Amino acid sequence: MSGVAFILISILTLAAALATATLPNLMHAAFCFVLALLGLASFFFLLGAEFVGLALVFIYIGAVAVLIVFTILLTRRDSKEHHGVNWSGVLIAFAVFVGLIWAVLKTQSLSIVPPHIRALTVRQIGQTLMTGYVWPLQCVGLLLTAALIGALVLVMEEKK
């Protein structure tokens, strides 16, 4: 059951990601990115990390994806790419892929049996965030505030 779901989700995610990397129509590529993220979120669900999957959907599909499509719209002058394939990029990406696969298959310590784990509840995540990870949490809050203000300052109209 989870094997079939695993294969379906990986095919969906990777196909959508590949479409994002190659489609000439930018808006279609952006929506394929959303699809790839949805696949990734279902991956997280499959692996038992529901909270992370939901957070991914919430942040990426609810906010980042809308930002991306808006930016494409605002910089619409060239919403289609006219150029040939950049072979060096393809080559490097493929080399990295082969290297990673080689590393994964070569490592012996990875083939452990999946232990039967209890699901991580939202309550536990909240308690961990509020005890052991308070400082990182505060730093992320500060970072997000800085990013918010920084993004606003960057796009503000310059006074002539």
Partner 1 sequence: MYRIMTPTLPLVLIVSAALFSIGLLAALSRRHAIFILIGIEMMLAAANLNFIAFWRFAPPPHPSTGVMIAIFSIAISAAEAAVGLAMVIAVYRHYRTTNVDEYDQLKG
Partner 2 sequence: MSSALDQIFVHAKHWLLSWIAGAPGWVVQIVSSLINIVALLIVFLTLFALISVLERKILGRMQNRYGPNRVGPFGLFQPVADGIKMLIKEDIVPARADKVLHFLAPVILAAVAILTLGVIPYGRNMTAFRIDGGILFFFAVGSATELAVFMAGWASNNKFSMLGAMRAIAQMFSYELPLIITVLPAVMVVGSLMPDRIVFAQGEYTLGIVPRWFVFTPWGAAAFILFFVSGLVESNRTPFDVPEGESEIVAGHMTEYSGFKYATFFLAEYLGMFAVSGMAVTLFLGGWHAPARVLEFVPSYLWFFGKLSALLFVYIWLRATLPRTRVDQMMNVAWKFMLPMAFTCVIAAAVWHYGGRGLRGWLWSLLVIVVVYSALSILLDTRRKFARRVYRFAE
Smaller CB distance to partner 2: residue 62 or 84? 62
State yes or no: residue 63 binds partner 2 (CB under 8 A).
yes
CB 84 within 8 A of CB 49: no
Which of 80-113 are b and which e, b meaning 16 or more Cβ less than 10 Å from the residue's Cβ? eeeeeeeeeeeeeeeeeeeeeeeeeeeeeeeeee
Q: Which stretch binds partner 2 (CB under 8 A): 23-31, 91-99, 105-113, 142-150?
A: 23-31
Name the nearest CA neighbour of 30 among 102, 93, 80, 77: 80
- Enumerate residues 5-34 that contact partner 1 by CB under 8 A: 6-7, 10, 13-14, 17-18, 20-21, 26, 29-30, 33
Instruction: Using DSSP, state whether 29 is helix, strand or coil.
Output: helix
Smaller CB distance to partner 2: residue 21 or 54? 54
CB of 59 to partner 1, least distance (A): 5
Task: Work out which of 58, 97, 102, 133 binds partner 2, going by CB under 8 A.
Answer: 58
* Torsion angles phi and psi, residue 80, rounded to 5: -130, 140
Contact residues toward partner 2 (CB under 8 A) are 1, 27-28, 31, 34, 50-51, 54-55, 57-58, 61-63, 65-66, 69-70, 73, 119, 121-123
